[in-house]
Chain A
Amino acid sequence: MNMKNRDIISIRDMTKEDIGYILKKSEEMEKNMEKNRNLLNGYVLSTLFFEPSTRTRLSFESAMNKLGGRVISVAQPKTSSVAKGETLADTVKTVEQYSDVIVMRHPNEGAARLAADVVDIPIINAGDGANQHPTQTLLDLYTINKECGKIDGLSIAMMGDLKYGRTVHSLATALAHYDVKLTFITPEELKMPSEIKKYLKNKDISYREVYGIDEIGKADVLYVTRIQKERFPDPADYEKVKGVYKILPETLDILGNAKIMHPLPRVDEISPGIDKSENAIYFRQARNGIPVRMTLLSLVLGEME
């Protein structure tokens, strides 16, 4: 499959074959890290983060470095030309002149799509507002596949902020390609949007919506998300639901063998006391961002097929 010059904007653009191919190539990449250390020698990645990020930006920069490529970035967009009123289109068109690929995060939904339409080099979306974060979804799928040995046939629960959390929206959308059973654990205020539920129904994916973690039933994976203060239009609504879910060592009895995932950062929804348990795979999940992002960079730059 040739993905040279392809933009990675939304998981919705990807077929099951695309996803399967990226996961397979990521597995190969992880096994051949050493061999690929000069694969992107001579290429320049620009990271444009108009919104704070630690993990995603570092993970992309690390991925590019491990492949022998170079990274340039705008550390503080507030001090750059954006603050002088330059349009996003002009910013990315200028950055295009300096680089071979752009990874961007932007607070407005659709920003990466707009950028991809105005430049010729590949754009990788590292988050556009509350909309998409496709590379997170790919590394989540990679983690599930690696830890459970498969995706088809699994029971996957998602807990926390399913209303505003873009990672769970993208993950649920991607999982609709597979034969999975889903459980959504949320307070009333943070339920999975009806649009996503309609999509799942159309794809014949069965899902349950419950309130308490004790209603999880038998699950292979529990995907926990932070309740994100910054996404709430009304701070009073945040106060009502903050801290509603906490995974403590005693919760593990309910979870059985379920693998606990989290896109990180966490606040208090998973106690650090869980970190050493067999269930906790969230730091390994973060690590998986490296081979997956190395693979994506290599594919869109045409150095891997």
Chain B
Amino acid sequence: MKKELKVSAIKNGTVIDHIRPGKALDVVRLMNLENYGGSVTVAMNMRSSLFKTKDIVKIENRELSEEEVNEIALIAPESTINIIKDYEVVEKRKIELPGVIKGILTCMNPNCISRKEGSSKFIVEKREPVVLRCYYCERLMEEDEILKRLRI
């Protein structure tokens, strides 16, 4: 049976696949893709063999920095990243939330020393759903607060 292609393929760029349903727009906002000059395709609630449904974001002519990958890992930890070159997947990897998150987020505690000097550092306390603990002030940050602080 011929596989129906619901979302057009991209020539070069990045496909973020297996995004938890409903999170695609968060990924778009997080990466500020609304203001990206190139073409961006967002597909939501697509059928998935891995999960029941998934979201997909395709970005033409753009690769992700390590920091961006870590940011995505915070809101959609089960996603995969495909690097596309000349319509071929040249690299495929599962996003993995590192044990320590540095610099992406500011601590929610206004009295935390990391807000005054140095830079932020969080220990990943729980992965599903993501819970972070500030390395300095030890305050926990749950998902809704993480999204708020990522300015989504």
Tell me if A254 counts as interface (CB < 8 A to partner B). Answer: no
In the complex the two chains form, is B138's CB within 8 Å of A107's CB? no
* A131 and B137 contact, CB distance less than 8 A: yes
Q: Measured between alpha carbons, how far is A131 from B113 in the docked complex, in Å? A: 11
Chain B positions 95-121 with a Cβ under 8 Å from a chain A Cβ: 109, 111-114, 116-118
A110 and B136 in contact, given A129-B111, A130-B111 (Cβ under 8 angstroms): yes
Q: Which of B112-146 contact A (CB under 8 A)?
A: 112-114, 116-118, 134-140
Query: Does B117 contact A89, Cβ atoms closer than 8 Å?
Result: yes
Q: A272–B69 Cα gap in the complex (Å)? A: 60
Residue of B116, B118, B136, B140 contacting most chain A CB atoms (<10 Å): B136
Contact with B along A106-147 (1 / 0, CB 8 A): 111111011000000000000011111000000000000000
Chain A's nearest CB lies how many Å from the CB of B127? Answer: 16
What's the Cα separation between A129 and B113 when bound, in Å? 10
Q: How large is the interface on A (under 10, 10 to 19, 20 to 34, 35 or more residues)?
A: 10 to 19
Nearest chain A residue, comparing its CB with the CB of B117: A87
In the complex, the chain B residue whose C-beta lies closest to that of A108 is B113
CB within 8 Å for A195 and B135 given contacts A109-B111, A114-B117 = no
Chain B residues touching A, range: 10 to 19
User: Are the CB atoms of B113 and A10 closer together than 8 Å?
Assistant: no
> Which residue of A is nearest B138, CB measured?
A131
8 closest Cβ pairs, A-B complex = A110-B136, A109-B137, A110-B113, A110-B137, A108-B113, A111-B113, A87-B117, A114-B113
Q: Does A88 sit within 8 A of B, measured CB to CB?
A: yes
Q: Which residues of chain A are within 8 angstroms of B114 by Cβ–Cβ distance?
A: 110, 114
- Whether a CB of chain B sits under 8 angstroms from the CB of A12 is yes
Interface contact B118-A114, CB-CB below 8 Å = yes
Q: List 5 interface pairs A-B (beta carbons < 8 Å), by A numbering.
A: A88-B113, A108-B111, A109-B111, A114-B117, A114-B136
Q: Chain B residues near A110 (CB, 8 Å)?
A: 112-114, 134-138
Query: How distant is the Cα of A110 from the Cα of B113 in the complex, in angstroms?
Result: 5
Given contacts A129-B111, A130-B111, contact A109 B139 (CB under 8 A): yes
Bound CA span A206–B136, Å: 29
A288 to B: closest C-beta gap in Å: 25
A129 touching B117, Cβ below 8 Å = no
Task: Please give, as numbers and ranges, the residues of chain B lying within 8 Å of A12 by CB-CB distance.
Answer: 138
A132 adjacent to B113 (CB under 8 Å)? no
16 new A-B contacts at CB < 8 Å, known A109-B113, A110-B135: A87-B117, A107-B111, A108-B112, A109-B109, A109-B112, A109-B138, A110-B112, A110-B113, A110-B134, A113-B135, A113-B136, A114-B136, A129-B111, A130-B111, A195-B139, A195-B140
Which A residue sits closest to B115, measured CB to CB?
Answer: A108
Tell whether, in the assembled complex, residue A10 and residue B116 are in contact, meaning their CB atoms are under 8 Å apart.
Answer: no
Please give me the residue from chain B that is nearest to A88 by CB atom.
B117
A113 to B109: give the CA distance in the assembly, Å. Answer: 15
